[in-house]
Structure 1
Amino acid sequence: MHKAYTRMQRTYSELVFERWLDNNGLSWRPIPTEQVRTPDYAVILGPSAEIVFELKQIESDRNWEDDIVHGGEIGAFVRERINRSKPQIRTSSSQGKPTVLVVFNAYDPLQLSGTEDHDFIFAMYGAYTLKMSVESGKIIEGFHGRGKSFQANKNTSFSAIARLKEGGREAAIRMTIFENIHARVPIDYDSLPPCFEVVRFNLL
């Protein structure tokens, strides 16, 4: 179906995503733009199995090489893309479809700054916090605290967040999915093909 797809002005992340889909033999279709904001793609994994994907890029008006300092709050880039994509994600999730936000780092040539595993984990479940005993000075508890975007009553329309990464060894394209344990419409992870790298959580 996608062979006739001719939508103009696709972002670079969309071109990379489509190449990853085709390289792995996955069937997909673009979701037509409607009056309400909708996600970008539907990926067909079986006769009645479909996952919807919304793509967001991390980019800047400045070149990476021109910025002397690179850094910032862990998870900030990912958290911002979560906030930006809420309307599209809700539209699909309300129809009972598992829906994934895909983040592509188009700013850092190495695609690391702001999109490493801990950036996704902190943005989703909060900064890792250590509680120490005043008397002994020893750590007595560790937990995810401030800055969590996902809770039992918050952003449950997101089935997962994913990182799309181009490059590395053999210039491969990789897709890593980070599970939302609070998802209203969870993904059947056992049915996913091996091209999906999955990070699952047990934080409850």
Structure 2
Amino acid sequence: MKIYIDLWIKSLDSKTAEILRKLGYKAIAVEEERERVADLLVITKRVIEANTRKELKEKLHGIKRKHVLVSVKPLSIEAARMAAHDSRVDTIIIDDTCYKYIDRNQINLMKQHSKPLELPLGRWLTYTPRKRSAIYRRVVYYLFHTKMPLIVTSCAKNWDELLVPRSTIYLLSIAFHIPLSQAVLSLTSYPRELISRCGVSI
């Protein structure tokens, strides 16, 4: 049985938790204050936006690492470079606000430091064709050049923004030209490894 995991839920209420369970999710990372939910492992997610190295350093300072997943949305080249180097960062997000800073040099650095890329797929589908295409090219380069994990998340604020696992896997396979066997890992084994690093077993 596959264990589906979504590492970016922005807000969790009882309805969202119910739908997550029905969709087959077993674990999630929630940005807002987490609460206990039956039959669903919930950990905390910290999303950090930073324009400079100094700002990123200050925001990373004091974050408790146990049971906390740290993702960075770099808003400059220098913030992106530091995020790739810093061991406190679990994933680097690519979206419409920061894709320009995820260039080939950044991707090579992420490969060097084993830093996975996180794609909020639900948001990507809503972008303009130009931005969607720009992110697509970077993700494809990342996948085929680094052979590293792609972490796919929903960034859902409400239950109707959640990703349906099987549909998402097929979409990933078709859109990014990867085998289904690899696409499924973006919602199962890859996020599970990150949760394990946060001191949580599932």
On whether the aligned pair clears a TM of 0.5, the verdict is no
TM-score range, shorter chain: 0.3 to 0.5
> What TM-score, normalized to structure 1?
0.33
Q: Give the structure with the higher percent helix.
A: 2
Q: Which has the larger radius of gyration?
A: 1
Q: Give the structure with the higher percent strand.
A: 1
Name the structure, 1 or 2, with higher relative contact order (CA <8 Å, separation 6+). Answer: 2
